[in-house]
Amino acid sequence: MHALAARPEPCPSPCPSISLCLPPSQVLAKVRGLTLDDSKVADRERARYAATSGPPAPLPIRLIYGSLCWMLDVLYAGRPIQRFWILETVARMPYFVYISMVGGMQPPPRTGGGAPAAC
């Protein structure tokens, strides 16, 4: 009896340097090898600011933003995943506050079976 050899389907990957078809242990090893260079991130940020048009932010805002970025760089140096988690949490706070406020502004449910009183 002749059996056809099963060919694995090619696995398209959005990032050619990391194949999603690898076993999980190999993917984890490749992910652990990724690095984040803080100086390259800062260079990219400066280039982004230089490319934008419009008035610059006021000095107090720039000072606060710069000091917060510096603090995150110091606290999470060499730990990009942890830095991502804290930034993701901070980015989601306005959404959670909005949902909480909208939920808190709902009128209480009516109790009783009668029609609303006429004004």
Write the DSSP string, 13-81.
Answer: -SSTTS-TTS-HHHHHHHHHT----HHHHHHHHHHHHHH--SPPPPHHHHHHHHHHHHHHHHHTTT-HH
What's the pLDDT score for residue 42? 80
The residues spanned by each domain of the chain are 36-104
Mean pLDDT of the chain: 76
Closest CA to 68 of 85, 47, 83: 83
pLDDT value for 2: 46
pTM: 0.48
The tens place of each residue's pLDDT in the chain, 119 residues long, gives: 444 445 555 555 555 555 557 778 887 888 788 777 778 888 888 888 888 877 778 899 989 988 988 898 889 888 888 888 888 988 888 888 888 888 777 776 676 656 666 65
Report which DSSP code applies to 114.
Answer: S
CA–CA dist 117, 119 (Å, integer): 6
